[in-house]
Amino acid sequence: MMKDQSGSQAIAVEIVEYDIEESVRRRYEAGAQQMEPQLCCPTDYEGDYLGCLPQEIIEKDYGCGDPTRYVRPGETVVDLGSGVGKNCYIIAQKVGASGQVIGVDFNDEMLTIARQYQDEIASKIGYHNTKFVKAKIQDLKLDLDQANQWLAQHPVTNISDLSDFESHCDRLRQQEPLIADHSVDVVVSNCVLNLVKPQDKKQLFGEIFRVLKKGGRAVISDIVCDEPPTQKILDDPDLWSGCIAGAFLEDEFLAMFEQAGFYGIEILSRQIEPWQTIDGIEFRSMTIQAFKGKQGPCWERKQAVVYKGPWKAVLDDDEHTFERGQRTAVCDKTLQILTSPTSPYKDDFIAILPYEDIPLEEAEAYDCSRTNLRHPKETKGGDYTITKTSTDDATCAPGCC
Ligand SMILES: C[S@@+](CC[C@H](N)C(=O)[O-])C[C@H]1O[C@@H](n2cnc3c(N)ncnc32)[C@H](O)[C@@H]1O
Domain CATH code at residue 14: 3.40.50.150
CA distances from 183 to 138, 140, 259, 260 (A): 16, 12, 21, 17
Q: Is the CB of 191 under 6 A from ligand 1?
A: yes
Q: From atom 25 of ligand 1, which residue's Cα is the shortest distance away?
A: 107
Shared domain for 284 and 362, answered yes or no, is no
- Classify each residue of 47-66 as buried b or exposed e, where b means 16 or more C-beta atoms within 10 Å of its C-beta: eebeebbeeebeebbbbbbb
Shared domain for 191 and 321, answered yes or no, is no
Digit-coded pLDDT (tens) for 151-174: 999 999 999 999 999 999 999 999
CA distances from 184 to 81, 90, 100, 117, 395 (A): 16, 18, 9, 24, 47
Last residue in a domain, options 251, 266, 291: 291
Counted domains in the chain:
2
pLDDT at 386 over 70: yes
Shared domain for 121 and 188, answered yes or no, is yes
- Do residues 322 and 313 make contact, with C-beta atoms less than 8 angstroms apart? yes
pLDDT at 379 over 90: yes
At residue 382's C-alpha, the angle toward residues 380 and 388, to 5°, is 55
- The per-residue pLDDT for 18 is 86
d(CA 153, CA 215): 42
Domain CATH code at residue 334: 3.40.5
- The per-residue pLDDT for 44 is 86
Digit-coded pLDDT (tens) for 69-104: 999 999 999 999 999 999 999 999 999 999 999 999
Q: Is the CB of 87 under 6 A from ligand 1?
A: yes
pLDDT at 234 over 50: yes
**Is 239 contained in some domain?**
yes
pLDDT at 110 over 60: yes
Per-residue confidence band for 393, with pLDDT thresholds at 50, 70 and 90: low
159: CA distance to ligand 1 center in Å?
30
Shared domain for 247 and 306, answered yes or no, is no
113: CA distance to ligand 1 center in Å?
13
pLDDT at 14 over 90: no
Q: What is the CA radius of gyration of the chain?
A: 25
Q: Which atom of ligand 1 is nearest to the CA of 190?
A: 6
Shared domain for 198 and 317, answered yes or no, is no
Per-residue confidence band for 1, with pLDDT thresholds at 50, 70 and 90: very low
